[in-house]
Chains A and B, each alone.
Chain A
Amino acid sequence: MKILIVDDFSTMRRIIKNLLRDLGFNNTSEADDGNTGLPMLQSGNFDFLVTDWNMPGMTGLDLLKAVRADARLKNLPVLMVTAEAKKEQIVMAAQAGVNGYIVKPFTAQTLKEKIDKIFERIEAGG
Chain B
Amino acid sequence: MEKNLDKAALLAYTRILLAQLENDSTTDLELGDTLDDIMALRDSTLFLELGKMTREIHESIMNFRLDSRITDLAHTDIPDAKDRLEYVITMTENAANTVMTVVERGTPVAEKLIEQSKQLTQQWQKFRRREMGPDELRTMGQDVENFFAESSTMMTELLSGFTEVLMAQDFQDLTGQIIRRVINLVNEIEGNLVQLIRIQGENYVREDKKDKSVAAGETILEGPQVPGRESTDVMRGQDDVDDLLASLGF
Residues in chain A within 8 A of chain B (CB atoms): 9-11, 14-15, 18, 53-54, 59, 61, 83-92, 94, 100-104, 106, 110
Contact = CB atoms under 8 A, between A and B. Distances in A.
Given A89-B219, A91-B248, 16 more contacts: A10-B93, A10-B97, A11-B93, A18-B100, A18-B103, A83-B224, A84-B221, A86-B222, A90-B235, A90-B245, A91-B244, A94-B248, A100-B250, A101-B245, A103-B238, A104-B224
B241 A85 contact: yes
B244 A90 contact: yes
15 contacts: A10-B93, A15-B96, A15-B100, A53-B221, A61-B219, A84-B222, A85-B222, A85-B234, A86-B222, A87-B233, A90-B241, A92-B219, A94-B245, A106-B238, A110-B238
A53 B92 CA distance: 21
Contact of A18 (B104, B231, B235, B250): B104
B172 interface: no
A87 B235 contact: yes
B225 interface: yes
Contacts of A94: 245, 248, 250
A102 B100 contact: no
A103 B241 contact: yes
A10 B92 CA distance: 12
Nearest to A105: B224
A54 B238 CA distance: 18
B111 to A, nearest CB: 12
B223 interface: yes
Contacts of B223: 54, 83-84
B237 interface: yes
A103 B233 contact: no
Most buried by B among A14, A53, A100: A14
A102 B245 CA distance: 11
B231 A86 contact: yes
A38 B244 CA distance: 28
Interface in B211-250: 219, 221-225, 231, 233-235, 237-238, 241, 244-245, 248, 250
Given A85-B225, A86-B222, A102 B238 contact: yes
B88 to A, nearest CB: 13
A105 to B, nearest CB: 8
A11 to B, nearest CB: 4
Nearest to A60: B221
Nearest to B237: A103
B100 A54 contact: no
Contacts of A83: 223-225
Contact of A101 (B103, B225, B241): B241
B234 A86 contact: yes
A83 to B, nearest CB: 4
Nearest 4 A/B pairs, CB to CB: A11-B96, A83-B224, A54-B221, A85-B235
Contacts of B100: 11, 14-15, 18
A89 B96 CA distance: 28
A125 to B, nearest CB: 16
Nearest to B92: A11
A9 B222 CA distance: 16
B192 to A, nearest CB: 31
Given A85-B225, A87-B235, A14 B245 contact: no
A103 B221 contact: no
Nearest to B101: A14
B134 to A, nearest CB: 43
A6 to B, nearest CB: 15
